[in-house]
Structure 1
Amino acid sequence: MSQTLTLHPVTSFNFTTKGAQQEEDPSVVARLQRLKNQYEDFGMRRSVEAVLVVHEHGHPHVLMLQIANAFFKLPGDYLKPGEDEVEGLKARLDERLAPVASDPASLGPNGAGKDQEDGEWEIGDCLAQWWRPAFETFQYPYVPTHITKPKECKKLFLVQVPPGKVLAVPQNMKLLAVPLYELYDNSARYGSQLAALPHLLSRYNFIYSD
């Protein structure tokens, strides 16, 4: 049976900016080398990313980060060894999108810092698992038959954000609401993982809240 999902308008959230967050690796080659080094120490990497769905003009949009005006990605990152998936995803979302304590948007009426409500993300269904079979960029929604030791498992979780929440975007990134019709069958621009999101979200019946 289809599940019902309430979507809030993108205008119901408060957006601000914070200091730039540089990528850990300067290149794809460096990132894959770090993956290889970590695999030797800790085994398969586990990554988590959030699918944040809002609506605009009665159509579902996915919030995603754009880096260098070209590269699109979902908010999230890899987990520490032994870290819980749900708590780890909340922590990664806080790191990427939570405002800093000194931000005026995060201050109380008397100018004092108020609780940032860290971790107040409603983590829902696991929508997909993507597997990296080797120290390469290719990932698949299954483990290839000849692979016994995949190098990374990435899970995409549906995450709902309460309306009115402050989302602080790093200065060197953009947070864009991309409509499903733009993602659908558009792997040339967004890659196979993001282009698959309309299929993954088709199981839900959406209610568009005002």
Structure 2
Amino acid sequence: MRFTIKLGSGPLLLVAMLALPACTSSGSGGSDMGSTLGNMLRYGSTTEPPLARAVEVEATECPAVTVADGGAALRRGTSQISIANVARECIERAGGAISVKVGLEGRALLGAGGGGGRFDVPVTFQIKRGDRVIVSRLKRVAVTIPANDTQSSFMAIESDMIVPPGTGEYEIEVGLGGAAAAASPRRRRG
């Protein structure tokens, strides 16, 4: 069966769209919404999302991000680079693994007599359970302070850090610099 609907028909268009899935049939003889239009209404796409995506949900437990002792700031010449804000997101996947996404916002300030320039800032992201490191990633972020400015902001985001199922309680930690971020005492942030 084929329908022709003119756009701009107002309420008639809505009624026709809602009735259309009931008039179409899938190959199985049922009148489910497995059609292209049904998928558009349900998922905002012409196809169904993969099953693994459909079962991902926001994890009920997502620990606050801590900043490693000695990892909150570092110096480059007379300039200082520091962490200003942190955030995280934890998504539970099928099978119980948790995918963690961590981000930080930082600031670079020129010191006395400093000029604009580019700094290479190492940022460490870690997930730990007690003293055991589950995931550790080092990312280098370019921070640029334009000439005639005294400061600049930067962001670093690390995605898909996987916590295996059955790990239990874990900690999320960030720090500037490679060695400083490995220190054990931490300062809690947001």
TM range (shorter): under 0.3
**Larger Rg: 1 or 2?**
2
User: What's the TM-score, normalizing by structure 2?
Assistant: 0.23
* Structure with greater strand share of residues: 2
Task: Identify the structure with bigger relative contact order (alpha carbons < 8 Å, sequence gap 6+).
Answer: 1
